[in-house]
Structure 1
Amino acid sequence: MLSTRHGVRPLGAADLGAFLELTGRDPVVNVFADYRARTTNLEPRWLGGEMWGRYADGQLVAACHVGANLVPIGASPDDARAFAERALARGRTVSTIVGPHEPVQEFWNGVADSWGRPRELRWQQPHLEMTGPPEIEPDPRVRRTTRQDMPELYPACVAMYTEEVGVSPEQGGGAELYRARVTQLMNRGWSFAAFEGDRLVFKAEVACASPYAAQIQGVWVPPDHRGQGLAESGMAAVVELVRTEVAPVVSLYVNEWNEPARRAYHRVGFRETARFSTVMF
């Protein structure tokens, strides 16, 4: 049974094939949704939320991930408005709305009056991709991190998150959960860093990956080491490692106002393919 006149209903394991067909229409932009589907089989208990699907003439035409993050997938403006209507019926349970600009904006327009003032709006975040080797020399010191690196790595992750998001991930007793996330990425081989002696001077992680793409997050250089090209050469090394061992395309999205980061990524070889938006509560 469809739950609204707009043909929106929660998806489950039986819908996995149709869902992966949907994400496969733009597999790099949709890497987060593809990764979540493959690792949870669309089971709500593993998703920690729901995946909504919108149907037209019996076909899945759009979806929306609703967990800690709300992410529209393959959604037209009309699809986004339908998802907003369903979201209004349940109230806000998410901490972030993120995804391609147009559906995020349409969704936000539909819920803004009821969901309250967000902590921050980031409307035009360039989404960047690399499909080939880096255009500059990689830093040979970049390697996967290990548990022995945690005394340097964990504080760097906290510093990066706080600088990027505006609040500490340890706020409200979140330290244990955040440390577990850092450790999880390390155990998957998705955490990379460069060191000068015992000092961490660059780090980055793979946030999610599919057979088609990997999305990078958490790129960070200590403030006293910035301006030395460490982000460029570090990212070149990460691109080389990830394209060889994780997925053939590397992507990320960056704040429009972060000109130093955008210049660094451009020098490495990243090119803009879309615009993302983020609404943070």
Structure 2
Amino acid sequence: MLTAPSVRPVDPAELDDVLRVLRREPVNNAFITARVETAGLDPWRLGGEMWGWYSAGRLASLCYAGANLVPLCAEPAAVRAFAERALRQGRRCSSIVGPAEETAALWSYLEPHWAPAREVRACQPLMAAERESAAVPADPQVRRVRRDEVERVLPACVAMFTEEVGVSPLAGDGGLLYQARVAELVGAGRSFARFEDGRVVFKAEIGAATSAACQIQGVWVAPERRGEGLSEPGMAAVLRYALREVSPVISLYVNDFNAAARASYRRVGFREVGTFMSVLF
């Protein structure tokens, strides 16, 4: 089967070394880097373990093992070691996600034991922008969601998640964790929407933010308003906020089969800089 792993959970005292590895790929790793910068490496605060793979005694690769299993700056030997540890532990994650090459290799080891997956999205272009849109004017009606508007934006967030992932975020615990996450983003000033008659017709969030890069997520237009040209000006507005107030590089990833979204993001000014992969259980 697999060779014995050379991997262990990192110690909280290794925070500087972990951040050194994560910052080698600031766009790819933005989501996990933001969590580590905020929570440190204590598993209870981080929401999972951070596994480290060491080369010549030096931390070289990482894998986040929580609700998601995420290989980070993982060379082939590290991926193999992470796979064996995951197999020994058993599947606890709801998805495997990360840069496509590492994620595909990790899944190749795990698939014989963890299959079937509910869905495998093998090609999800990673897109990035470093300047405000020159071609699409920002929608002046897209603004930050206020703290007292969490209940108004929540139905749109639930609809987007269900449409994108294929399951409701309200399952299991009744949505308590998901509602807390929505409220957290609103409270941090990273949730944006266009409201009409009190209803959300466009929304997006900055889901992860570091000083080097941030990631837009949850882009959604109300179904009855699609095709009216709300998404591109809305994205241009969120991009402007993000560049002016958060990070110098703004990223997102999108399914390869969503040709309309990819074209829309390109018109706003995003370009493809890599590929992600997701395995959903």
TM range (shorter): over 0.9
Structure 2: runs of 5+ lacking an equivalent: none
The equivalent residue for 2:203 is 203
Equivalent AA in structure 2 for residue 78 of structure 1: A
List runs of 5+ in structure 1 lacking aligned partners. none
Question: Equivalent residue for 1:256?
Answer: 256
1:223 corresponds to 2:213: no
Please, which moves more after superposition, 144-153 or 36-45? 144-153
Q: Which residue matches 2:25?
A: 26
Shift of 1:5: 4.8
Aligned-pair identity (%): 50
Distance 2:202 2:147 in 1: 17
Give the structure 1 partner of residue 104 of structure 2.
105
Paired residue type of 2:245 = E
Matched, 1:162 2:157: no
Q: TM-score, normalised by structure 1?
A: 0.96
Matched, 1:117 2:126: no
Q: Which residue of 2 aligns with 1:91?
A: 90
1:269 to 2:264 alignment: no
- CA deviation string 1:9-45 (max 9, x = no partner): 1012211111111111111111112112111211112
CA contact (8 A) 1:77 1:102 kept: no
Mapped to 2, the partners of 1:203 and 1:194 lie a distance apart of: 6
Deviations 1:83-138 (A, max 9, x none): 10111111001111000001101111111111131111000000000111113100
Query: What's the TM-score, normalizing by structure 2?
Result: 0.96
Equivalents in 2 of 1:77, 1:275: separation in Å? Answer: 17
User: Quick one: distance in 1 between partners of 2:73 and 2:222?
Assistant: 37
What one-letter code is carried by the residue in structure 2 that aligns with 1:232? E
Q: Does 1:177 align with 2:177?
A: yes
Q: CA deviation at 1:280?
A: 0.6
For residues 68 and 198 of structure 1, what CA distance do their matches in structure 2 show? 33
Shift of 1:174: 2.9
* RMSD of aligned alpha carbons: 1.3
Worse overlay, 101-110 or 195-204: 195-204
Partner of 2:35: 36
Code of the aligned partner of 2:25: D
Aligned residue pairs, count: 278
Rounded to whole Å, the distance in 1 between the matches of 2:148 and 2:237 is: 21
